[in-house]
Amino acid sequence: MRILIADDDDYTREGLSETIDFEKFGIREVFLASDGAEALRLASLKKPDIVLTDIRMPKLNGIEFAEKLAETSPGCQLLFMSGYMDVEYLRSAIKLSAVEYIEKPLKLGEVEQAIMKSVRTIQSKQKQTAVLNQKNELERQRLAGLLRENGANQETVMELCQETGFPLGKRYIGMIVSCRKEEEGSRADLDLIHRYWSSNGVMAIGEQLDRYRCFVVAACDRQDYKRIHYLADLFVRKHEAYSLGIGEPANGLELVPASYQSAYRAAERSFYDPQRRFYQPQEEKGQSHAALANLLPEFYKQREENPEQLPKWVEASCKLLREQEYADRARIIALFETAALALVGSSQKLLIGLENEYGIHRVEEALRDCRTLEQVKLTMSIICSAYLEEVQEISPYSRLVQDVLQYIAGHYQNPDLDLRMVADHMHLSTAHLGMLFKQETGVSIKQYISDYRIGLAKRLVMSEHYKMNTIAELCGYASASYFAKVFKASTDLSPLEYRKKT
């Protein structure tokens, strides 16, 4: 808070400034004036919360000064002090809603008590204002949400417009404002956006769509679209962390949903062109949905016939999508989710590798978190590379052994998995399958299963996200104690010692 002390008596003015501990009242700044004119100038410049003023001063007396102050700072708290107990002055002070009238000679306790009363009054008003502002803001957000919906109840819309002061009979422009930062804690600041439009004399309301995006509706006169357009462009130039998609103007509240949709489509182009930050409505490109539909069949063909070509499939698919600029980003993400899940399948080994090396816990979530096509391409490239590494581990072997390896990869979590179970699946005798497998791999099926489980267990132990009993279950051990025994026999370390060491 700030206080202004106005008194033509130097001793009184300076004495109050030096004697009172203003900090204990939450007052951080103190300004001094020696006459009414100087007091008015300082009040206009510094905007004090409290004014402690003498009634009799040169140039402007306290009452005259207070009358002018009320015009420019109606919320300011007035404290009058005077040694002249004139009835007319008292009446004037009451009309001006002075909090206190302090008689001179001043007593420090009375002055501090008057200041405390002013501070409490201000704090009470601030709390009331905060509650009203919060309620109003919630109603504004509710109104913004209704305005982007087709078929919204127009009676409710009108009521909310009246309650929030949002104007009727104007032209309305929808905008999607997005925060481009991806650091933890970053989010679109709706208050910042409101302050910007308000400071430029534009009535705007908004709704938080998600952490990164807000929908904003600005009201303007019919001829002011160019000005709104200019201010929207200026906003992103002033605030580098933001991008903005602006919609077509709506000549009525019932048409705002169409403005929202065009703003949304404009903003979605940041998925393809993140270097730009201001996106305007433009004519839709002719989109070949047949080309999009052909991408997944091509993916499955490459996976079966030429898996080493999968990175090229990712590159070519993203190039096609960038050229087409498909508006439905969700459909694109869903396409790559399907492909990624087909690659990962039920391979726990592949999932653990992605988690430990790249922090990808679930491939579908990793793709949904991508805000640009370039990020999608990078994520898919990582998944393809991990998949190819796993494929290359089994590629030197015959088709029979490859099938055995794939069966083990899909069933190692079963504690009963052994040579007989694998042989039954392959419709071969245990002796014949065991001999063929060892000839090609150099190890028995039993040893391979054991090594596979221990290799996976090591990766899981390295991650602090998993408890030991969970690791035992995931790797196909009958119990945590048996897992610990086998693990130590293989590594000479207990699982906990291994985790600490790595």
Domains: count for the chain: 4
Residue 20 lies in a domain: yes
The CA distance from 51 to 64, in Å, is: 14
At 240, which CATH number? 3.30.70
Q: What per-residue confidence (pLDDT) applies to 67? A: 83
Q: Give Cα separations from 311 to 247, 335, 354, 382 (angstroms).
A: 37, 15, 16, 9
Per DSSP, 75 falls in state T
Pair 350, 376 in one domain: yes
Q: What per-residue confidence (pLDDT) applies to 435? A: 92
The CA distance from 77 to 100, in Å, is: 9
Residue with the two structure tokens 């951080």:
28
DSSP string, 339-400: HHHHHHTT-HHHHHHHHHHH--S-HHHHHHT--SHHHHHHHHHHHHHHHHHHHHHHTTS-HH
Q: What per-residue confidence (pLDDT) applies to 413? A: 85
pLDDT at 279 exceeding the cut of 70: yes
Q: What per-residue confidence (pLDDT) applies to 161? A: 93
Residue 120 lies in a domain: no
pLDDT at 286 exceeding the cut of 60: no
Pair 35, 72 in one domain: yes
Side chain identity at residue 128, one-letter code: Q
At 486, which CATH number? 1.10.10.60
Which of 350, 375, 394 is where one domain is finished?
394
State what percent of residues in the chain have pLDDT above 70.
Answer: 92
Pair 33, 64 in one domain: yes
Residue 119 lies in a domain: no
pLDDT at 396 exceeding the cut of 80: no
Q: What per-residue confidence (pLDDT) applies to 263? A: 95
The chain-wide mean pLDDT, for the chain, equals: 86
Q: What per-residue confidence (pLDDT) applies to 84? A: 59
At 18, which CATH number? 3.40.50.2300
Pair 9, 100 in one domain: yes
Pair 365, 440 in one domain: no
User: Residue 166 contacts by C-beta under 8 Å, 6 or more apart in sequence?
Assistant: 140, 143, 160, 203, 205, 219
Which of 221, 246, 279 is where one domain is finished?
279
Q: What per-residue confidence (pLDDT) applies to 143? A: 93
Residue with the two structure tokens 């539909």:
293
What are the percentages of helix, strand and coil residues in the chain, rounded to 5? Answer: 60, 10, 25
- In this structure, the strands spanning 50-54 and 29-33 are unpaired
Residue 132 lies in a domain: no
Pair 316, 411 in one domain: no
Pair 147, 275 in one domain: yes
Q: What backbone torsions phi and psi does residue 155 show, to the nearest 5 degrees?
A: -65, -45
Pair 159, 265 in one domain: yes
Residue 428 lies in a domain: yes
Range of the domain at 328: 289-394
Pair 209, 169 in one domain: yes
Pair 144, 264 in one domain: yes
Q: What per-residue confidence (pLDDT) applies to 289? A: 60
Q: How confident is the model at residue 449 (pLDDT cuts 50, 70, 90)?
A: very high
Note if the bond before 105 is cis, omega within 30 degrees: yes
Pair 264, 158 in one domain: yes
Per DSSP, 53 falls in state E
Q: What per-residue confidence (pLDDT) applies to 351? A: 76
Which of 371, 394, 417 is where one domain is finished?
394
Q: What per-residue confidence (pLDDT) applies to 93? A: 55
Q: What per-residue confidence (pLDDT) applies to 98? A: 55
Q: Are 221 and 262 within 8 A, CB to CB?
A: no
Residue 117 lies in a domain: no
Q: What per-residue confidence (pLDDT) applies to 135? A: 83
Helix or strand (DSSP H, E) at 132: helix 108-147
Pair 155, 256 in one domain: yes
Average pLDDT over residues 9-15: 91
pLDDT (tens digit per residue) in 303-325: 877 888 999 999 999 998 888 77
pLDDT (tens digit per residue) in 325-365: 765 788 889 889 988 988 887 676 787 778 777 788 888 88
Q: How confident is the model at residue 260 (pLDDT cuts 50, 70, 90)?
A: very high
Q: Angle at the Cα of 409 (from 404 to 413), degrees rounded to 5?
A: 120
State what percent of residues in the chain have pLDDT above 90.
Answer: 44
pTM given for the model: 0.58
Residue 495 lies in a domain: yes
Average pLDDT over residues 288-292: 62
Q: How many CB atoms lie within 10 A of CB 449?
A: 20
Q: What per-residue confidence (pLDDT) applies to 284? A: 56
Residue 234 lies in a domain: yes
pLDDT (tens digit per residue) in 76-124: 888 888 775 555 665 565 555 555 778 888 889 999 998 998 899 888 8
Q: What per-residue confidence (pLDDT) applies to 402? A: 83
| Burial of 242 from C-beta contacts in 10 A (0-12 / 13-18 / 19+) | buried
Q: How many CB atoms lie within 10 A of CB 434?
A: 17
Q: How confident is the model at residue 246 (pLDDT cuts 50, 70, 90)?
A: very high
